[in-house]
Amino acid sequence: MDLGNLDQDRFHQIERDRLASDDDPGHPPRILVLYGSLRARSYSRLLSEEAARLLQRFGAEAKTFDPAGLPQPDSGDATHQKVAELRDKAMWSEGMVWVSPERHGAMTGVFKSQIDWIPLELGGVRPTQGKTLAVCQVCGGSQSFNAVNQMRVLGRWMRMVTIPNQSSVPKAFAEFDEAGRMLPSPYYNRLVDVMEELVKFTWLVRGRTAYLVDRYSERVESAEVLSKRVNQRSL
């Protein structure tokens, strides 16, 4: 894997023994990468590809979803091939990277449509709850944080553990070479930081997710449902 921008003397692998729980499943962290543009030369896609390479270098398994062909929400149903693929990858993942261009001061519709196809609950399982999340954006002009700020709100709504660090790349057209590889810069170094932090948080969270998301209100509701069912049987 060509990662020539990395200073190998200062690159450290994740010390998973310092982070993993006793109940950790042991396999490499599973990270789903989403991006938000369909352009032939999409800078959000190029940044997502760099992110995936770094995730693999940090010992994670990364899968990227291509949004081309995904129908608009409510214009199709869950049997659509692209919708099924997206949901399968969301269920598979233990963490996610979201990369969107900023357009008109917001994340793109292409990106938001992907999230809108991932329900809060699917077959009794929550595809995103308790999973880790890193947010990134590319800008056509000066550096901005509108898209990543919106994605943080969205990540909270999806009940995800959004890491503190984030990446915003200004004038993205000047940050990639003709082959689509990111050039050395402080923005590249920040992307390395974000992926390192995401993998660390994923190791830290994933074996503890069931306990972390266990909630009083749901335990009360479950007790009420059980009580009703028992009382109905006694009638």
Domains and CATH numbers, the chain: 25-233 (3.40.50.360)
Question: Average pLDDT of 95-116?
Answer: 97
Name the average pLDDT for the chain.
93
pTM of this prediction exceeds 0.85: yes
Q: Tell me, what's the pLDDT at 138?
A: 98
pLDDT mean over 21-30: 94
Distance, CA of 151 to CA of 179 (rounded, Å): 28
Contact 228, 199 (CB under 8 A): no
Of 227 and 160, the one with more pLDDT: 160
Share of the chain above pLDDT 70, in %: 95
For 191-204, what is each residue's pLDDT tens digit? 999 999 999 999 99
Q: What is the pLDDT of residue 233?
A: 58
Cα–Cα nearest to 119, from 148, 75, 87, 151:
87
- Host H or E run for residue 34: strand 30-35
Residue type (1 letter), 202: T
